[in-house]
Amino acid sequence: MITLKKGQYLSNVLSEIPTDCILSKRVPGCGATTLELKTNRNSIIIVPNVPVIQSKEKKEPYPKGVYEDVTVSEVVTYLKENIRYKIMTTPESFGKIKVACEKCNINIYSEFFLLMDECHQLVKDVDYRNFIVLPMADFFKFKNKAMVSATPLGFSDPRLKKFETLEVRADYDYQQEITVINAYNTTKAIGEYLESHQNGTVCFFVNSITQIYSIMKHFKLLEDSTVYCAPKSVTKLKEGYDFTNAYKEWSAETMKRYNFFTGRFFSAFDLELDYKPDLLMITDPYISPYTMLDVDTDCIQICGRFRKGINSATHIYRVNPEICAKSKEQKLQEIHDLEVGYRTLQRYYNNADSKNDRMAFGQVIDIHPFRKYLYSDLTKNWFRIDCDVNEVLVIGRYKSEQTMEDWYNKCHYFTPTFETCNSNENDEKMETIMSARTTRDKRKKMVEILSQFEQPLSENAFDFINKIRKIDPFIVEAFEVLGKERVEELNYNQKQINEELILRQRKGNRAIRLIKNSFKVGNTYTNDYIKDELTRIFDMLEIHPERTVKGSMIKDYFQAEVWRNENCRGYRLIMAVV
């Protein structure tokens, strides 16, 4: 065991990280990665995410980052131009380093010390990043190697049983005070949090782009917010939501009043600021299971990102009493039973009497649930097993307020204060609506809830209806005019509902409104479609135009330009003229 005094780093007490060890850091940010970068030996450091590498590349000794678009040729050039090698890579890009070493006739297994940093991510991320454990096939081939994490989870891989666990403790109080809020309505709890944090910078940690955008839009934070997330999510925000302040890399210059971080930035990444922000973590299993934070890993790592400290830490969470909680033993038994079934099928396959029987058993084996616990070479993927065990334990703790409080009380890192965000009947209804994944599902829940109110409406009911009218005035009007059964018959199709709403209204020019409902500015339509759709609308209203209906008639309603391709012609609508 190693003990650090206040202000000390690992480099003050260790000359180097020993081989064949799992370095267990109870205190995040004590300098394990920096120690290896400065140790006088060739090193390959594998880290979970790109932002970690990018933050270290900007500091001495300026390691070579290998990730995403970095090519094998670039790695070869680095190896040829340097004497001492310090390389940082993601698990998915580790193969580029192997190829580069082969091209340079370097024995990677004897020339490099391999460090798996934040090794708990091997367990946590393997469920959706299958390639994160690829380097483990090579890890045990290295003569010198080690694993490091501030929050190491247990590993079931028997090859790691021989490793020494070196625990790093502190002789000072490093515990982080945190306010833990149980909220049935997370939207309400977030609103109360923002109301009490009107000054300074707030950093949100939410592992759901959909929920992040919903928060920004609901509380009108779009102009004052920045989102840091994976490249695909950046594209989704910019193209899907027209939100431009989204980045795959963090920098202090792009920070705003409200800053949102997804799981890509939860661990091993240094947020170096000149001030101390307020930190808010959000979990809502009804919106997304990926928002369920592991107190022993995610929450510790998140609080450890801020090297100069934070002003406050808060975790708003919602429980789901319907969760089927399982123990570690129950999950391991479940996996064992799957393995027994799988091995039995294998025996039938190996001893099949005919080619057809063998083929049939082979097809069943290929889709057997136990296959996910095997690598492509059919050896056991211990990290996938650990991942599933850890996942059921985390999920089970979000079953009740008591299990969450017990979890926080047992965690060495936090000094928690527990609160409850009280809710009323309308809050619960609103939370049900806001938990919907799609607009259609949200509207279905709105109509279902609206249909449950008894007549005459109470003041409480009026208040709730006015709230959801602000969220989606279209579906409230559709319910009030058409009723629940008719909206359901129309299958929540906005175009069809809109048509019926227009037909039931007596005021205004219904033909123009129906045409605007069918044709949208900016879109392109063929002459055949224009003719057929206008004819359908005129027949619906029993209108008999004086001239023949054809594509050019759309110019009576829109400013349009001629459009054509090889097979057909039509018009692109520029703006409405009536």
Please give the distance of CA 574 from its chain centroid, rounded to a whole number.
38
Does residue 196 carry a pLDDT above 90?
A: yes
Compute the distance between CA of residue 49 and CA of residue 130 in angstroms, rounded to an integer. Answer: 14
At 226 the three-state DSSP class reads strand
Name beta bridge partners: 414.
176
pLDDT at 132: 61
DSSP class of 220 = T
At 574, is the pLDDT very low, low, confident or very high (cuts 50, 70, 90)? very high
Least confident of 246-250, 418-422, 543-547: 543-547
Does residue 386 carry a pLDDT above 90?
A: no
Please state, for a pLDDT cut of 90, what percent of the chain lies above it.
Answer: 55
Does residue 126 carry a pLDDT above 60?
A: no
At residue 207, what is the residue type?
N
Does residue 507 carry a pLDDT above 50?
A: no
Q: Are 145 and 19 in contact (CB under 8 A)?
A: yes
Q: Are 42 and 111 in contact (CB under 8 A)?
A: yes
Does residue 134 carry a pLDDT above 70?
A: no
Between residues 568 and 279, the one the model is more confident about: 279
At 45 the three-state DSSP class reads strand
Kindly report the average pLDDT of the chain as a whole number: 89
At residue 529, what is the residue type?
Y
Query: Any idea which residue has 């001893």 for tokens?
Result: 351
pLDDT at 74: 96
- Kindly provide the b/e burial profile for residues 448-457, where b requires at least 16 CB atoms within 10 angstroms of the residue's own CB: ebbeeeeeee
Does residue 123 carry a pLDDT above 90?
A: no
pLDDT at 141: 92
Does residue 301 carry a pLDDT above 90?
A: no
pLDDT at 18: 95
Q: Provide mean pLDDT across the span 335-346.
A: 95
Q: Provide mean pLDDT across the span 120-127.
A: 60
At residue 131, what is the residue type?
F
CA-wise closest residue to 139 among 166, 163, 165 = 163
At 176 the three-state DSSP class reads strand
Q: Are 497 and 444 in contact (CB under 8 A)?
A: no
Q: Provide mean pLDDT across the span 207-225.
A: 93
Name beta bridge partners: 282.
316
At 460, is the pLDDT very low, low, confident or very high (cuts 50, 70, 90)? confident
Helix 527-540 to helix 510-518 angle (10° resolution) is 140
Compute the distance between CA of residue 318 and CA of residue 62 in angstroms, rounded to an integer. Answer: 42
List, in order, residues 6 or more apart from 499 with CB less than 8 Å away: 514, 517, 540
Q: Provide mean pLDDT across the span 516-538.
A: 91
Does residue 396 carry a pLDDT above 60?
A: yes
Report pTM. Answer: 0.73
- Residue 347: count of CB within 10 angstroms of its CB: 10
Compute the distance between CA of residue 554 and CA of residue 568 in angstroms, rounded to an integer. Answer: 16
Please state, for a pLDDT cut of 70, what percent of the chain lies above it.
Answer: 96
CA-wise closest residue to 388 among 118, 131, 123 = 123
pLDDT at 125: 58
Least confident of 165-169, 266-270, 369-373: 266-270
Q: Are 22 and 164 in contact (CB under 8 A)?
A: yes
**Beta strand 312-317 with 21-25: parallel, antiparallel or unpaired?**
unpaired
What are the start-end ranges of the E strands in 244-381? Answer: 246-247, 258-261, 278-283, 312-317
Least confident of 210-224, 264-278, 359-373: 264-278
Give the tokens for residue 218.
């609901």
CA-wise closest residue to 212 among 186, 192, 249, 180 = 186
Compute the distance between CA of residue 66 and CA of residue 46 in angstroms, rounded to an integer. Answer: 10
Give per-residue pLDDT as tens, 218-271: 899 999 999 999 999 999 999 989 999 999 999 999 999 999 999 888 876 778
Q: Are 315 and 204 in contact (CB under 8 A)?
A: no
At 494, is the pLDDT very low, low, confident or very high (cuts 50, 70, 90)? very high
Does residue 506 carry a pLDDT above 60?
A: no
Using a 10 angstrom Cβ sphere, with 0-12 exposed, 13-18 middle and 19 or more buried, the burial of residue 429 is buried
Does residue 277 carry a pLDDT above 90?
A: yes
**Beta strand 202-205 with 86-89: parallel, antiparallel or unpaired?**
unpaired
